[in-house]
Structure 1
Amino acid sequence: MNSETHQYQFKNIGEIEQIIQWINREYSFLCLTSGNEHQYPQGTFPNQILAGNTAIEADELWTSKGQNIAGIISYDFKNQLENLQSENPAWINVPDLTFFKSEIKIRWESDSIFSTVEIPESVWKEKVALSQSEKVTISPLTSRESYLENFKKVQNEIIEGNTYEMNYCISFEGKTSHFDPILAFFDLMKLSPMPFSALFKAKSKYLISASPERFLKKSGNQLIAQPIKGTAKRGHTNDEDERNKSNLLHSEKEQAENLMITDLMRNDLSKVSETGSVNVPELFGIYSFPKVHQMITTVSSQLKTNTTFREIIEATFPMGSMTGAPKIKTMEIIDQIENFTRGWFSGTLMLIDENGDFDSSVIIRSIISDLEKNKLYFGVGSAITIDADPNAEYEECLLKASAILEVLSGK
């Protein structure tokens, strides 16, 4: 990719909206990411746009070097890694791997926009709509009653010793006619700006993501995982907010959920790391976002010499926070109890640098849309343990869905 040779004054986020509308017309693939100025351990996604017209096939992805790449690994890639299958219906069909070569890169900071191509003068004169105009009618695929019934099934699996903790997810689906994913993305950023926010396009399919969670980050021979387990709502007053935060920090239930997934991630990282190098720099860290407080743990390790990108993914995917433990058996139960194919939801969005370093998010708090089929869906979930309360877990799912529902309803 060419070095950044064009610099422009950065005035406000509206200019990024103008640029992305232009990019969307010109390129089949794009990936806009933003960290929204969050102070997050090990940093956030960069404020940048990558775009291109060339998809990367699987064989090339695993051996690709010397170029910027962006893409998504679908949750159902698990079926290629283990003896698993997903027979539930898919509202939107997506490939297991969707990656593209970046032909241009645009990034922005406090007062400047840098681009590897010249941005046409006409772009700055474009008028950008204020918000997503179409109100989308959303239907939950799982009723509250069905959720509570399935909750009991999961706890029975725990009693039988088949799983210790399972991330049970439900889906919301909608049909559209004039849905604009770009406007919806910026609406979602106003409501829920996150450290791993992203807008991803692959031809007619779009991901609109307000993810708070990192999957993996590779810097040189260091590997970082940051599973989230533990959620509390924000308070209406400072006192209530601090009380909710403290309750989350000291909750034995939330700590137990977090620790199970932390141990799972430590085990996954150990498969590709130097013996004795896996450690936990921060356990049960509490971080606050617009709608929720989250309990986040950081696990790090030193990679074995000559470990490949494919070996890292095969050892760690899917992320334990979206499956539960033990991972393989729990994924079998997920396919039996859930009633939809997850697809991009609970997969990972990845940014891969020319030197092979990468960063990636967990695809949660995200809308997946297909403009060709006039459809969209999103999933939400929570961890079920033997001590979990079904009504509280269902309310947690609705809390996680609240910002997306607000965007799609136009409220």
Structure 2
Amino acid sequence: MIVQVNDLPGFRKKALRWATTFDTLCYLDSNGFNDPYSKFDTLIAVGARAELTADAGNAFDQLDEFRKNNPGWMTGFLGYDLKNEIEALTSTNHDGLKFPDLYFFVPQHLILIKGNEAEIISDTPEFVLTAINEQDLRPSARQTAINLKSRFSRQEYIDTVNKIKEHISRGDIYVTNFCQEFFAEDVSLDPLGVFTKLNEVSPNPFSTFFKWNGNYILGASPERFLAKRGSKLISQPIKGTAKRLDDIEADKQAKQTLRSHPKELQENVMVVDLVRNDLTRSAKPGTVKTKELFGIYSFTQVHQMISTVVCEMQDGLSNVQAIKNTFPMGSMTGAPKLSSMQLMEQYERSKRGVYSGAIGYFSPDDDFDFNVVIRSLLYNSSNKYLSFHAGGAITYHAIAENEYEECLLKAAAVMEVLGRELT
């Protein structure tokens, strides 16, 4: 069923409010960004006709089988700690969220919005449309104050970055992504109200509201992990960040400085090399290409340096195997990949979980698209634990104090939405 929509912002808000009445939903919003690889502006998957929950061990095999049995639309997430299935790694750091490593579901109802049209895929499309139109868009209640804490003090973070730089000087690694967790306990959160505000403060092309069994992922990600379009695989790693400035000329200068900054360029090219290497496992020989190097893209909070790497996918390779071959994404690990992941388990103080994993979908035409879970708030309503991470690339030229400030910059939108500074 296809319907014309006159008030797109209102329809999206009503559809999301209706979707939150279900136990399971995945809302993906491009926020109007022009993306040549996107199939839609907004996707809303609601209710679980079938679902898969798995932890590292044989999770990818389970997902492969689940996909074969459910070849239509499917949405879900891959947690970072699936790395323990791919490599000989373990994760023993603190985990307050208790999320599974993998969760996917086949929706009962699916809404695809593109332009001024909304396609409703459901056994009862008229019921869905009526239910959406009946939603009341009254404002959400004001979020109560949240006492945020960090696993690292500023000085502890700086000291740890300098220890990591010693590993780089010794040649153990070239670059890594070091992350820290900000968290709060005994929190009563209004997920819809918080996400709505986050999407207003920081609209990004891979924004996400994901809910299952009382757990929530509220995301404002700017980064694509991996997509498949026909026979082509596309990865768009982000490395390189600069703060947006109110003064137009100063903002232009910040953008230009990012474009020519040696450390940011070094970060980006190292990750591009890593992504190119990862893609060769899934590519037809000789087809891995860097389509764009050091592209500068502007978002509400930051400028980002984004590169695009593509290849032609091997015949006979399953989509799940192609994802596994590149997971976790190079922009969140480092190089060499295994050594970097081992070291970050040693120096980080929390399990990353879904953070620096991926959320996305498989479509009936055998394509898929997954983001990188960054700039995202995660919440377990059962134990009332709230968490978000921020991280940055550490290279030989990294200045520890600047890296700490970059973490706070990346966390700024989430902190603004929560209305709190760190204690």
Q: Give me the TM-score of the superposition, normalised by structure 2.
A: 0.92
Residue equivalent to 1:126: 135
Give the match for residue 105 of structure 1: 110
Measured after TM superposition, the shift of residue 52 of structure 1 is: 2.3
Paired residue type of 2:312: Q
Matched ranges for 1:345-384 at <5 A = 345-384=355-394
Cα distance in 1, alignment partners of residues 39 and 271 from structure 2: 21
For residues 340 and 187 of structure 2, the distance between their equivalents in structure 1, rounded to whole angstroms, comes to: 37
Query: Which residue is 1:36 aligned to?
Result: 31
Question: Is the CA contact (8 Å cut-off) linking 2:2 and 2:117 kept in structure 1?
Answer: no
Amino acid at match of 1:307: L
Aligned with 1:167: secondary structure?
Answer: strand
Q: CA RMSD in A?
A: 1.8
Instruction: State the Cα distance separating 1:46 from its structure 2 match.
Output: 3.5
**Is 1:328 paired with 2:346?**
no
What's 2:210 paired with? 200
Pairs within 5 Å for 1:236-247: 236-247=246-257
User: Conserved in 2, the CA contact under 8 Å of 1:218 and 1:224?
Assistant: yes
1:248 aligns to 2:262 (yes or no): no
Residues 73-92 of structure 1 aligned to structure 2 (within 5 Å): 73-92=78-97
Please name the residue that 1:61 is paired with.
63
- The 5-angstrom pairing of residues 7-406 of structure 1 reads 7=3, 9-25=5-21, 27-40=22-35, 42-43=37-38, 46-53=41-48, 54-56=50-52, 58=59, 59-63=61-65, 64-65=67-68, 66-116=71-121, 117-118=125-126, 119=128, 121=130, 123-131=132-140, 133-134=142-143, 135-406=145-416
- Whether the 8 Å contact between 2:26 and 2:45 is mirrored in structure 1 is yes
CA displacement at 1:7 relative to structure 2: 2.1
Contact 2:149–2:183 under 8 Å retained in 1? yes
Q: State the secondary structure of the residue aligned to 1:102.
A: strand
Q: Is the 8 A contact 1:170 1:379 kept in 2?
A: yes
Deviations 1:260-309 (A, max 9, x none): 00000000001111111001110000000001000000000001111112
Per-residue deviation at 1:123? 4.2
Displacement of 1:177:
4.3
- Asked whether the equivalents of residues 204 and 299 of structure 2 are also in contact (C-alpha less than 8 Å), the reply is yes
1:171, 1:380 within 8 Å by CA — same for their partners in 2?
yes
Look up the equivalent residue of 1:93 and give its one-letter code: K
Q: How many Å apart are 1:235 and its aligned residue?
A: 1.6
- List gaps (5 residues or longer) in structure 1: none
Task: Output the amino acid matched with 1:146.
Answer: E
* Farther off after superposition, 80-89 or 175-184: 175-184
Provide, for residues 24-66 of structure 1, a one-character-per-residue CA deviation record: whole Å limited to 9, x for no partner.
22x3221111111112453486312012223125455213242
CA distance in 2, matches of 1:189, 1:44: 20
Indicate how the Cα distance of structure 1 residues 132 and 338 shifts in structure 2: closer, same or farther if over 3 A, else same.
farther
The TM-score normalised by the length of structure 1 is 0.94
The question of whether the paired residues in 2 share the 8 Å contact of 1:230 and 1:255 is answered with: yes
Q: Relative to structure 1, is the Cα distance of residues 90 and 170 closer, same or farther in structure 2, using a 3 angstrom cutoff?
A: same
- 1:354 positional shift: 1.4
Aligned residues of 2:40 and 2:112 also touching (Cα < 8 A): no
SS of the residue corresponding to residue 300 of structure 2 reads: coil
Q: Structure 1 357/91 Cα, relative in aligned 2: closer, same or farther at 3 Å? A: same
Per the alignment, residue 56 of structure 2 pairs with none
Q: Is the 8 A contact 1:67 1:354 kept in 2?
A: yes
- In structure 2, the CA distance between the partners of 1:395 and 1:123, relative to structure 1 (3 Å rule), is same
AA at the equivalent of 1:405? M
SS at match of 1:103: strand
Give SS of 2:273's match: helix
Quote the offset at 1:72 in angstroms: 0.5
Asked if the contact 2:244–2:254 (Cα under 8 Å) also holds between the matched residues in 1, the reply is yes
Structure 2, unpaired ranges of 5+: 54-58
Q: Distance in 2 between matches of 1:45 and 1:123?
A: 19
Deviation at 1:8, TM superposition (A): 5.3
In the comparison of the two structures, how many residue pairs are matched? 406
Indicate if the aligned counterparts of 1:140 and 1:172 stay in contact, CA closer than 8 A: yes
User: Bigger shift: 122-131 or 159-168?
Assistant: 122-131
Provide the rounded CA distance (Å) in 1 between the counterparts of 2:10 and 2:198. Answer: 14
Contact 1:45 1:195 in 2 (8 A): no
Of 258-267 and 313-322, the range deviating more from structure 2: 313-322
Question: Is the Cα contact below 8 Å between 1:38 and 1:44 reproduced in 2?
Answer: no
Matched position secondary structure for 2:15: helix
Separation in 1, partners of 2:344, 2:113: 40
